[in-house]
Amino acid sequence: MRLLLTGFEPFLDYEVNPTMPIVEALNGTQIGEYDIIGRILPVSFKEAQQAFVELIEDIEPDSIISLGVAVGRFHITPERVAINMRDSNEPDNDGNAPQGEAIRDGEAPSYFSTLPVQEIVDTLKQAGYPAKVSNTAGTYVCNTIMYEGLHYAATRQIPSGFIHIPANFDLAIALGNVPGWHDRDLLATIQIAIETVLKTR
């Protein structure tokens, strides 16, 4: 089985994106029955959506987990819902800041994650990692990717969803006033999340 794992490039004032080393470390590995295919997406509403859709059509994954950084959060936070909306006061890496635009005109207003979000949280807590379910993926590029993954999953009955992670130490030090985690621990939490998805399929 193929699991598509995506992260993002750096964006805004963030010199690094801690999703990148996770995706790069897991790309080409195997976790249980999953062959992990890792890809880095641009932080661009248009380009990320197009690249992600093309990846999905090419790979035809059996599961999808997308990662994003939520600077300021202390916990690993699987997202519960994506909404059909692009809206941001901050520009993407192409300088675009859409205001109240639909991701897909005429499609579902929202999709709930098909990942076992509560089971992921519970398993992470049992392993000693701070984790909780998040009820908002925002309306930036992360939400667009989560929505697209769930739009694909809706007709295929596969696990798909999004997990926000905290900053890593490099980003926390660069910014100076946000919590940070060691890259080793961030990687371990995503490995646990993938194992949990596999166990609950």
Residues designated as active site: 79, 142, 164
Amino acid at 56: I
Contact 144, 103 (CB under 8 A): yes
> CB-based burial of residue 100 (10 Å sphere; 0-12 exposed, 13-18 middle, 19+ buried)?
exposed
Cα angle value 70/133/168 (rounded, 5°): 30
- For 19, the 3-state DSSP assignment is helix
Q: How many residues does the chain have?
A: 201
Task: Please name the helix (run of DSSP H) or strand (run of DSSP E) that holds residue 171, with its range, or none.
Answer: helix 169-175
Q: For the chain, first and last CA: distance in Å?
A: 12
Locate 74 and state its tokens.
């202390």
